[in-house]
Amino acid sequence: MPWEVRTRQDEIRFTLVVSLIVLAASGVLRSLMLPPELAMPTLVPGAAMAVMIAAPIGWIIARRLRAVHDLSARLEHALHHDLLTGVRTRASFYEAARALEGQPCVVIVADIDHFKGFNDCHGHFAGDQALRQFATLLAGNCRGGDLVARFGGEEFVIVLRGTGADQGRAIADRLADRVRASPIYVGERSLSLTASFGVAAWTPGGDMDNAIQQADCALYRAKNSGRDRVCCHHAGPEGAAPLQAVS
């Protein structure tokens, strides 16, 4: 019996099941409590009355159960997703990342360029709009199984599952192009935006925090090299980590 009611079809099924249960219970009680000469003539009217009572009650209960489920789903989403941008929170990101352990992935750290100046110049409403659009662009250009999270302020972290370093760099380049080509509309104003990206490989058995740190270092190299670009982390021959800029 679908006690967890999620859709209109679930509501209908729930109402039908409740009506059938009440109808069957009504027939059993009638046969037990009334003599056969009274039970048979009242069978049809009694069944109709039972359904007329049960169906509205079942429908009301189904609607309440669906409302409870919808509220629970919204609370669950709010618990694991950033309220402003809709992408994952930092805590939710780490929880979901555990399911990706054991497969090669790429970590991308993305940061909006000159965001403080953008906020100061155009206002916090424009800044919020920029963050929402930036997050939507990142999530919209990733696959369903990839992770996109806001780590704080204007910094976002992406994990591309089953992806090599070269493919991850190409995706980061594409994201940078999309950001550059996507204006922010605030009222009648059209504002431009760019972002910098750091890319690092997260190898099977490796530490996620270490991969994020490597991508973050690559991001700072991108910032120091002029912004609006992608930098990749490459492990050196002696464990060093020289950074290579990719325009």
pLDDT digits (tens, 9 = 90+) for 146-163: 999 999 889 999 999 999
pLDDT at 39: 66
Give the mean model confidence (pLDDT) for residues 114-142. Answer: 92
State yes or no: is 101 an active-site residue. no
User: Domain of 48?
Assistant: 8-78
pLDDT at 203: 87
Residue 2 lies in a domain: no
Q: Are strands 189-191 and 243-246 parallel, antiparallel or unpaired?
A: unpaired
pLDDT at 1: 41
Examine the fold and report which residue of 54, 78, 102 is the final residue of a domain before the chain moves on: 78
Q: 155: which DSSP letter? A: E
Q: Which amino acid, 110?
A: A
Residue 196 has pLDDT above 50, yes or no: yes
pLDDT at 243: 40
Residue 237 lies in a domain: no
The CATH number of the domain where 194 resides is what?
Answer: 3.30.70.270
Residue 184 lies in a domain: yes
> Which of 25-29, 85-89, 127-131, 142-146 is the least confident region?
25-29
Higher pLDDT pick, 23 / 216: 216
Give the mean model confidence (pLDDT) for residues 105-111. Answer: 96
Residue 143 exposure: Cα atoms within 13 Å on the Cβ side: 10
Examine the fold and report which residue of 48, 78, 108 is the final residue of a domain before the chain moves on: 78
Q: Are residues 171 and 206 in the same domain?
A: yes
Residue 242 lies in a domain: no
Q: Are residues 205 and 112 in the same domain?
A: yes
- Give dist(CA 169, CA 57) in Å, integer: 58
- Residue 181 phi/psi, 5-degree rounding, is -95, 0
Q: Which amino acid, 157?
A: V
Catalytic residue among 154, 155, 188, 238: 154
Q: Are residues 71 and 165 in the same domain?
A: no
Q: What is the mean pLDDT of the chain?
A: 85
pLDDT at 218: 95
Which residue's structure tokens are 């973050």? 216
Examine the fold and report which residue of 34, 54, 78 is the final residue of a domain before the chain moves on: 78
Residue 238 lies in a domain: no
Residue 32 lies in a domain: yes
- Give dist(CA 137, CA 15) in Å, integer: 42
**Residues of the chain with pLDDT > 90: what percent?**
42
What total of structural domains would you count in the chain? 2
Residue 21 lies in a domain: yes
Residue 174 lies in a domain: yes
pLDDT at 116: 92
* Structure tokens that stand for 117 in this block: 């100046």
Residue 237 has pLDDT above 60, yes or no: no
Q: Are residues 18 and 107 in the same domain?
A: no
